[in-house]
Amino acid sequence: MHYDELQKIWESIFMQLGYRESERNNWVSETQELIIVLNFKVNAKEKDFYIDIGIIIKKWYRDHSLKEPVFEDHDIGQGLYTILYYMGELEYYLNNLFCYDPDINTDAEVIDNSKEIAMLFLTKVIPHIEQLDAYALRVEDFEKATTWEPFLKYFRPAEDNNKYFYWK
């Protein structure tokens, strides 16, 4: 499968999941307190792909416009592969799911794998994001490092936010 075809498959999946297209191949959805930005990337040499997830915390941007958010605006982010791995999915399984190499997966398998990834996103990642949304609603001070602990269970801070985190 050519990566252009793969990108079209994922555009369709993102739309079915309720995401809208933003600038530069970013797909956006909102909860009450968070903006979720998905960014699809292909590694044509290795014949695998990535879906990066960025989360923007709305409370932090009261005075800024977030009309067309992009992944680079995220406060916390991580690759979907990595999040699923941290949530207990096996590396071998994930390697197969995120691979579009015709020597490994047929076109039909790539389509099925993409649907499986979408289902894992819905059943594992979205519930965690919903918990973060409820938590963000209660947070009053984002300047404290302890405030960020729940956000960092599966995500990493954006580089600009490192001042709020201490690494053990």
Kindly report, residue by residue over 48-64, the tens digit of the pLDDT.
999 999 999 988 765 45
What does the chain come to in residues? 168
Task: Specify the pLDDT at position 144.
Answer: 81
Residue 72 φ then ψ, to 5°? -65, -15
Kindly report, residue by residue over 119-154, the tens digit of the pLDDT.
999 999 999 999 999 999 999 888 887 888 899 899
Q: Is residue 166 part of a domain?
A: no
Q: Is residue 59 part of a domain?
A: yes
Kindly report, residue by residue over 6-61, the tens digit of the pLDDT.
999 999 999 999 999 988 889 999 999 999 999 999 999 999 999 999 999 988 76
Has residue 108 got a pLDDT over 90? yes
Q: Is residue 124 part of a domain?
A: yes
Q: Is residue 91 part of a domain?
A: yes
Has residue 65 got a pLDDT over 90? no
Range of the domain at 83: 3-160
Give me the number of domains the chain comprises.
1
Regarding predicted confidence, which is higher, 70 or 93? 93
Q: Is residue 168 part of a domain?
A: no
The answer to whether 73 and 52 are in contact (CB under 8 A) is: no
Q: Is residue 101 part of a domain?
A: yes
> With bands split at pLDDT 50, 70 and 90, how would you rate the model's confidence at 168?
very low
Q: Is residue 165 part of a domain?
A: no
Q: Is residue 88 part of a domain?
A: yes
